[in-house]
Chain A
Amino acid sequence: QVQLQESGPGLVKPSETLSLTCTVSGGSITSFYWSWIRQPPGKGLEWIAYRYYTGITSYNPSLKSRVTISIDTSKNQFSLKLSSVTAADTAVYYCATGYTDFDHWGQGTLVTVSS
């Protein structure tokens, strides 16, 4: 059973870059598509990006100019960078498997954007 765990700073200052890592266990990073999804407090879900280890990548058009998703096959990890953050980027960030649907999820990590 594949398991995912998000890690990264819980507090980011406005205009800086949010960086998160998802560590995969119980499965290979080459076996799935990998996605990032976020959920502002008390609100719904928003898909951010997905990537496959071959380099296939897709970004949410509303975030595309600020987002980078990458994979490190040697560490069985994938990462998210979101630049120029504002308070509107405050959310629980989840990593998940898949792209047409998402069947394994991490527990999520709350990232707050505040000075």
Chain B
Amino acid sequence: ELVLTQSPATLSVSPGERATLSCRASQSGSSNLAWYQQKPGQPPRLLIYGASTRATGIPARFSGSGSGTEFTLTISSLQSEDFAVYYCQQYNNWPSFGQGTKLEIK
């Protein structure tokens, strides 16, 4: 069974700074890694798929990278609307989600 581990659990960053979120997979082999943003009371929003492709309408300050078992979501200059919970998700026989990283204002 694929397990995705996100770190850190909580990340405190000031607006305008860069945020780097990590996702580690327990098994290698799939580049079908996606990232989602979720705000309170809202469904998740797809940000990145295929590890590095931005979804439709996603600002360029969001970027994804990585392969194998190590993946990263970078937000280059944090805006107020970016503070939220972020989930990674991978498909390997079936879809699995990480436990989430809460990005909070420092």
Would you give the shortest CB distance from B91 to chain A, in whole angstroms?
A: 4
A-B contacts, CB under 8 A, total: 56
3 closest pairs, A vs B, by CB? A105-B43, A101-B34, A47-B95
Give chain B residues whose Cβ lies under 8 Å from the Cβ of A106: 43
Question: Which A residues from 27 to 52 make CB contacts under 8 A with B?
Answer: 35, 44-47, 50
Q: Is the interface of A mostly helix, strand, loop or mixed?
A: loop
Chain A residues whose CB sits within 8 angstroms of the CB of B98 once the complex forms: 44
CB–CB B49/A101 < 8 A: yes
A59 to B94, CA, bound (A): 8
CA distance A105 to B45 in the complex (A): 8
Taking Cβ atoms with an 8 Å cutoff, the residues of B that contact A are 1, 32, 34, 36, 42-46, 49, 55-56, 87, 89, 91, 94-100
User: Cβ of A53 < 8 Å from any Cβ of B?
Assistant: no
The answer for the CA separation of A45 and B1 in the assembled complex, in Å, is 16
**Which of the listed residues A35, A47, A60 has the most CB atoms from chain B within 10 Å of its own CB?**
A47
Inter-chain contacts of B95 with A (CB < 8 A): 35, 47, 50, 99-100, 102
The number of chain A residues with a CB under 8 A from chain B is: 21
CA distance A6 to B54 in the complex (A): 27
Contact A44 B91 (CB under 8 A): no
